[in-house]
Structure 1
Amino acid sequence: MREHDVRAADGTRLRGWCTESEGPVVLLCPGLGTIPEAWPALVLPSSGVRVISWYHRGTMGSDRPADPGRIALEDHVDDAVAVMDAAGVRRCVVMGWSVGVMVAAELARRHPERVSGLLFAAGVPGDLFGGVLGVLGIPAAVRRPLVRGGARAVRAAGGLVDAVLHRLPVNRLTATLLQHSGFMLPGADPADVAKAVRRFLGHDWRWYVTLALALAEVPGRDLTGIGCPVTLLAARFDVVADPGLATRAVACLPQARVRVVPTSHFLPLEAPEVIAEELHLLVARVAVVERAGR
């Protein structure tokens, strides 16, 4: 995997990354503030696909925009297009995890000619905070303001949160404890978890929550009209993205395949073999559809 700079449509410098494996190109719309190592199935030379992606504005080496308001959903979609253009890719399979599902879905809605297939992993295409805690049975009318209030509290106490999380020791032991917390589940290699969590905790948390709150205002999306093959991987024990909400979002699509996986929100880490299997199946489906359309 190598990193490089990409210039966004509004001039913001983004830090992009790509793998150098052989195979069809896949654009990865990442989870908010996540790293390539969160996708162990995709960063290996044997993955069978070449992944292109980027880090969100103001995270992991990408600059914050000159206009602080340029962090809406359409800005992230423009960044996805910029990453494709920089790689010389006109059309490809697009996958997303967590908030990346929102970006991938919106990219397909706005630029259908750029998207040949979609893979959604543990995410919803809209109503971000409406999907949090849904698996616990808490009504949406309660959980939206609850989660929004919690996020605003973290932003207000950003300096204190940084002071604590930046000093938190992260190793195999703490990773294993996290995997038994309910927020995550066992299944992933503790070393992979430790590596991902260590970098994740280093965020500027005031900015991180600002990014999340900007996306929280996006309402639920009607995906009717998306005609490419779609695969949804819903995490059965996901406390961040309600699997029921995710499933209902794609129910209207004629070429949707749904698979419920017994993982937490961290499906790419906990079930990398499922990611690889379903991605290769989606690539094959896309090839069949595109041959039939010629």
Structure 2
Amino acid sequence: MWIRRDDGAEIYVRVLRARKEPGADLESEVGAEDGADAGAGEPPALLILDGIGCAGWAFRRLAPKLAADRKVVLMHYRGHGRSPSPPRPWQLGMHTLADDAAAACDQLGLDRVVTLGFSMGFQVALEFYRRHRRRVAGLVSLAGPPGQPLNSFRGTNVFGFALPLVVAATSVAKQATTRLWRSVLPSRQAFDFGLRFEVNRDRIDSRDFELYLKGMAAINPELFAAMLEQAQCHCGDDILGRIGVPSLVVAGGRDEFVPVQRLREMAFAIPGCRWEVLDEATHALPAEYPDELALRLGEFLAELG
């Protein structure tokens, strides 16, 4: 399904749901008219807000499991996956992405949703809650901080200081940056390095990681850097203590992108939040532990109705 925003941006939205016939497979694509039948007694849909540079790869195995009980909605951010780069000047702030998600819910006829934010997606989820609070039935963070992700990336804030240089480089040397970006990311060297140092290679399906690298390579590096800059400028700490819906935060014990302590502080700032850690998971925990997360998320969602 596609939606068109007022600024001309086109957003791709994918919906998963269980077929009504017993034992049938999942539907992977539905139109707006198919999504508008969320009647009484049907549980709130699960709205997945992905990480930056991601378009569903981390949920390839997890999302279908969750869709057995409710609709699962996954939006491709501007310039990600099947969503083309938006018109300039780019609007890539967390509040804009949250409004894109709300527009998708409008078109699908979804009044209330549980928002699940993976990595940067939880920043978008917090803005969704801030701006569209009546729609939120619950909040979930999978390795997602409340803001300024580079301040704790790999235990240092040096990446935050370097970001303006990266943004400038991608803007000034567009062609050279794009050539380098699209040659290095999908390479075998990047694949081997990532499997060895960035994820739990004993848990992740290498096909998922390959999808991630290919998806990243397809993104305009200037747009990626600009969105990362917006994420770094954003902070949702102010709203944590005012969250009034059931919440769950799941961290990876081996996550070097968003350290456990950062997520623990966030979880304990949210009233009544449930806090869980997958000890051997890295930042890619949705792809590494789909069965375990399906169970834990299923229990959390079942309590919401």
Q: Tell whether the structures are fold-level matches, with TM greater than 0.5.
A: yes
| SS of residue matched to 1:80 | helix
Unaligned runs of 5+ in 2: 20-41
Change (3 A) 1:169 1:200: closer
Change (3 A) 1:157 1:277: farther
CA distance, structure 2, for counterparts of residue 176 and residue 41 of structure 1:
24
- TM-fit CA distance, 1:213: 0.9
Change (3 A) 1:190 1:92: same
Over aligned residue pairs, what C-alpha RMSD do you find?
Answer: 2.6
Change (3 A) 1:220 1:169: closer
Give a deviation string over 1:20-73, Cα, whole Å, max 9, x none.
325842101111131223212113587433211211112223244435242112
CA distance, structure 2, for counterparts of residue 66 and residue 103 of structure 1:
21
Answer with 208-217 or 194-203: which moved more.
194-203
Give a deviation string over 1:145-199, Cα, whole Å, max 9, x none.
1455455445555433432342348589964542112x22211111222123222
CA distance, structure 1, for counterparts of residue 303 and residue 287 of structure 2:
24
Equivalent position of 2:23 in the other structure:
none
- The within-5 A match list for 1:191-206 is 191-206=207-222
Equivalent position of 1:268 in the other structure:
286
- Relative to the length of structure 1, the TM-score reads 0.84
Give a deviation string over 1:240-290, Cα, whole Å, max 9, x none.
223212221221223211111222211111111232122212212212xxx
Query: Is 1:214 matched with 2:230?
Result: yes
CA distance, structure 1, for counterparts of residue 180 and residue 144 of structure 2:
28
| SS of residue matched to 2:263 | helix
Give a deviation string over 1:115-134, Cα, whole Å, max 9, x none.
11111011111122213122
Aligned residues: 278
CA distance, structure 2, for counterparts of residue 203 and residue 16 of structure 1:
17
| SS of residue matched to 2:183 | coil
CA distance, structure 1, for counterparts of residue 129 and residue 236 of structure 2:
15
Equivalent position of 1:16 in the other structure:
13
| SS of residue matched to 1:145 | helix
Q: Of 177, 200, 203, which residue of structure 2 is paired with 1:185?
A: 200
**Counterpart AA for 1:18:** V
Give me the identity figure in percent. Answer: 23
- The within-5 A match list for 1:42-191 is 42-43=63-64, 47-134=68-155, 138=156, 140=157, 142-150=158-166, 152-153=168-169, 156-168=172-184, 170=186, 175=191, 177-181=193-197, 183-186=198-201, 187-191=203-207
| SS of residue matched to 2:265 | helix
Change (3 A) 1:286 1:18: same
Equivalent position of 1:284 in the other structure:
302
Answer with 142-151 or 67-76: which moved more.
142-151
Equivalent position of 2:34 in the other structure:
none
CA distance, structure 1, for counterparts of residue 277 and residue 267 of structure 2:
13
Q: Of 56, 64, 75, which residue of structure 2 is paired with 1:36?
A: 56
| SS of residue matched to 1:118 | strand
Answer with 64-73 or 268-277: which moved more.
64-73
- TM-fit CA distance, 1:10: 3.9
**Counterpart AA for 1:257:** R
- Relative to the length of structure 2, the TM-score reads 0.81
